[in-house]
């Protein structure tokens, strides 16, 4: 991932130094496992662990000649360790034993950061939902005014979706926290299966129940999919905010810092650049998830068509998702909520959003549904065309006065549409408790 979107906390997990350090951790853990089984002297393993080291520069120098990164790594470590102790290093292993097990450590640790920040974002959404439970605004379907809702209800929808993201990410973390020390085609031909079990226990991973030369890539596809879905939720939030920031709506707006400028040519501009950025980034996560699907089907016990792609999509997706979580929190914490504009927009058209309420009142009063729909729609379409306010136009209808009388104020109170939302906010409070437990 480019430096612009790489936060140090997660970026440090994917640099070359960290990658090779994980490789070394796996190699030493294998040696310790063999020592526990009495296959090699413990004293020699401790000497190996003490002396084993590398430099990234030396690995790259040797790789220029060998064109094989693991061989270059093993050779570099051997330069730091005296013979005969060095003979225990990488004994009985294939490259993917090291690569996939160390990669599991990187993915696990990255997902731990993502899960932590996803939980924080979910808690923030519950807090904001409860804060805005009574912030009335118009609900829209197809981009068109529908019926009243509240901002708190919108936020509740996002909060529960974020909880589902946590469930998916947790399962994905479990799926990728798997390693293998089973040799060239996964048959344990040159290594005791107990070595794998002991090694994984030390590393905090689970042994693959059955593997080929590699850990199977459906696991990585699941992680990339869970990350992409998380991205789509953040995109959903961003899309709502940037849409609501349009000049004609102006109900919500992302934070705009002092000294910030929206356009080089138009000083009045206040562009939703953060939320637009989030929407663009979600596309990258989805594209990377497709790579994960493609990487699952490989020739026989393994080819390396997945390898080059994973070097890009695994660090990029985890790093980008982490950045998006931080940016989404930043947007929500600084969210500009224009309650007055929400009320103004809801009342545009002179109460047209209450047409459904009037329809049901007429039906309840005895008018046939078809007749009631026709009466209400005719007034609504005139209001839509700007011929007057819907409330005044519907009150002029003789049929309406006959069935409902002349005082229709009670039908134009938005509280009817949100009076039962308490059940939703009770669930939000329960969600907050689960997230903070």
Asked if 114 contacts 169 with a C-beta cutoff of 8 angstroms, the reply is yes
Choose the catalytic residue: 12, 68, 171, 263.
263
Cα gap 307→297, rounded to integer Å: 12
- Say if CB 100 and CB 179 are below 8 A apart: yes
Strands 178-179 and 206-207: parallel
The token pair that represents 327 in the structure block: 């940016």
Q: Which class for 63: exposed (0-12), middle (13-18), buried (19 or more C-beta within 10 A)?
A: middle
- 361, 372 in Cβ contact below 8 A? no
Among residues 142, 264, 268, 308, the one annotated as catalytic is: 142
CA distances from 258 to 242, 246, 247, 255, 338 (A): 19, 20, 20, 10, 19
Inter-residue contact 155 to 359 (CB < 8 Å): no
Is the bond preceding 311 in cis, omega lying within 30 degrees of 0?
no
DSSP 53: -
Active site residue 263: yes
Helices 16-36 and 42-51, interaxial angle, to 10°?
A: 170
Residue bearing tokens 């309840």: 364
Grouping H, G, I as helix, E, B as strand and the rest as coil, residue 253 is: strand
For residue 15, what is the DSSP state?
S
Collect all residues with Cβ–Cβ distance below 8 Å to 309 and sequence separation of at least 6. Answer: 291, 294, 295
The separation between the first and the last C-alpha atoms of the chain, rounded to the nearest angstrom, is 34
415 is an active site residue: no
Strand, coil or helix: 139: strand
Q: Tell me how far apart the alpha carbons of residues 389 and 355 are, in angstroms, rounded to a whole number.
A: 12
Which residues belong to the active site?
142, 263
């Amino acid at each position: 991932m480019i430096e612009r979107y790489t936060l140090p906390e997660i970026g440090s997990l994917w640099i070359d130094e960290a990658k090779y350090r994980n490789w070394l951790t796996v190699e030493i853990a294998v040696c310790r496992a063999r020592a526990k089984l009495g296959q090699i002297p413990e004293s020699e393993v401790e000497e190996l662990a003490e002396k084993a080291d590398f430099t990234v520069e030396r690995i790259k120098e040797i790789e220029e000649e060998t064109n094989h990164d693991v061989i270059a790594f093993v050779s570099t470590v051997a330069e730091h360790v005296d013979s005969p102790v060095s003979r225990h290093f990488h004994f009985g292993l294939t490259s993917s034993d090291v690569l996939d097990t160390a990669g599991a450590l990187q993915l696990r640790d990255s997902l731990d950061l993502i899960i932590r920040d996803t939980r924080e974002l979910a808690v923030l959404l519950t807090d904001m939902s409860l804060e805005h439970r009574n912030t009335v605004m118009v609900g829209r379907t197809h981009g068109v005014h529908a019926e009243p809702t509240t901002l708190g209800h919108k936020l509740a929808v996002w909060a529960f979706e974020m909880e589902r993201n946590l469930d998916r990410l947790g399962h994905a973390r479990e799926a990728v926290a798997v390693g293998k020390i089973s040799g060239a085609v996964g048959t344990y031909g040159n290594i005791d299966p107990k070595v794998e079990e002991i090694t994984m226990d030390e590393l905090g991973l689970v042994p693959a129940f059955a593997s080929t030369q590699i850990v199977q890539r459906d696991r990585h596809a699941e992680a990339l999919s869970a990350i992409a879905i998380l991205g789509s939720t953040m995109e959903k939030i961003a899309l709502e905010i940037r849409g609501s920031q349009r000049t004609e709506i102006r109900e919500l707006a992302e934070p705009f810092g002092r000294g910030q400028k929206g356009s080089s040519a138009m000083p009045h501009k206040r562009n939703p650049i953060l939320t637009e950025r989030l929407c663009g980034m979600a596309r990258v996560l989805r594209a990377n998830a497709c790579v994960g699907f493609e990487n699952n089907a490989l020739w026989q016990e393994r080819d390396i068509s997945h390898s080059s792609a994973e070097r890009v999509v695994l660090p990029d997706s985890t790093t980008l998702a982490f950045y998006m979580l931080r940016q989404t929190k930043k947007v929500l914490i600084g969210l500009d909520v224009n309650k007055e504009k929400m009320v103004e927009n809801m009342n545009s058209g002179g109460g047209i959003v209450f047409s459904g309420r009037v329809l049901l009142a007429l039906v309840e009063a005895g008018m046939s549904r078809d007749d009631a729909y026709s009466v209400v729609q005719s007034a609504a379409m005139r209001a839509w065309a700007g011929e007057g306010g819907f409330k005044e136009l519907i009150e002029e209808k003789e049929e309406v006065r006959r069935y409902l009388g002349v005082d229709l104020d009670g039908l134009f109170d938005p509280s009817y549409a949100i009076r039962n939302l308490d059940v939703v906010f009770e669930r939000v409070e329960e969600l907050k408790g689960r997230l903070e437990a």
